[in-house]
């Protein structure tokens, strides 16, 4: 993680209540050849994994719905978002993490996942990189009701939607979560339902 355009990086801890918020001050060599002192806040919550569960036979996807308080304070009247199943790596390998999250959140026990990409969602202020997966599910894989981990104060509603309905929900604004939009569009572009 070295570049000759950044020097004198200083980190000041602002908060470590839930995750870590740091104030970063550094000198940056601009494209015009001048050095400039820059200050930014950087939120470090670790890396995560996300998956689109899909069923070709039923032409459905499994998504979740849960409260996301930052969306509420930013104008989302109910504060709930429809999302693909996701979670923080917490020192797990991405594949192991997402399988565990799928069972906790949706109640499906899947064994095969396919990694399709890695991406930053908000690189201007958040360090997190997400590992994106897809995975087929069937009714036989349902081992519990899901809903999330009680010790994580999760209260997750499991949704099984027609794939076309989910894709259309991007256009109608019912789905506004970027990781979910990316995976639904990936599925559409790559014809995974065929």
Is 84 part of any known ligand binding site?
A: no
Same-domain pairing of 150 and 70 = yes
Is 154 part of any known ligand binding site?
A: yes
Same-domain pairing of 12 and 88 = no
Is 105 part of any known ligand binding site?
A: yes
E strand or H helix at 165: helix 163-172
User: Cβ distance 90 to 46 under 8 Å?
Assistant: yes
Instruction: Convert the pLDDT of each residue in 115-151 to its tens digit.
Output: 999 999 999 999 999 999 999 999 999 999 998 877 7
Same-domain pairing of 16 and 61 = no
Instruction: Convert the pLDDT of each residue in 56-101 to its tens digit.
Output: 999 999 999 999 999 999 999 999 999 999 999 999 999 999 999 9
Count of structural domains, the chain: 2
**Its pTM surpasses 0.75:** yes
Domain that holds residue 107: 48-189
Given CA atoms 113, 118, 122, 128 in this order, what sign does their dihedral have?
Answer: positive
In a domain, 194, yes or no: no
Q: Nearest Cα to 43, choosing from 125, 133, 110, 105? A: 125
Same-domain pairing of 72 and 56 = yes
Lowest mean pLDDT among 70-74, 153-157, 166-170: 153-157
Same-domain pairing of 108 and 30 = no
Is 104 part of any known ligand binding site?
A: no
In a domain, 161, yes or no: yes
Same-domain pairing of 72 and 111 = yes
């Amino acid at each position: 993680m070295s570049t000759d355009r950044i020097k004198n990086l200083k980190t000041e801890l602002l908060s470590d209540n839930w995750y870590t918020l740091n104030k970063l001050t550094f000198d940056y060599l601009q494209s015009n050849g001048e050095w400039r002192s820059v200050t930014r806040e950087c939120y470090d919550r670790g890396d995560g994994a996300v998956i689109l569960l899909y069923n070709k036979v039923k032409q459905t996807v499994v998504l979740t719905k849960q409260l996301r308080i930052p969306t509420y304070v930013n104008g989302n009247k109910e504060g709930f978002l429809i999302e693909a199943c996701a979670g923080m790596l917490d020192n797990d390998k991405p594949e192991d993490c997402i399988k565990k999250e799928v069972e906790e959140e949706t109640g499906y026990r899947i064994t095969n996942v396919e990694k399709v990409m890695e991406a930053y969602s908000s690189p201007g202020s958040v360090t997190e990189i997400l590992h994106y997966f897809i995975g087929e599910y069937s009714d036989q894989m349902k081992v519990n009701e899901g809903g999330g981990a009680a010790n994580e104060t999760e209260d997750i509603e499991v949704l099984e939607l027609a794939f076309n309905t989910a894709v259309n929900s991007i256009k109608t604004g019912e789905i506004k979560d970027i990781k979910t939009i990316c995976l639904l569009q990936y599925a559409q572009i790559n014809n995974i339902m065929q």
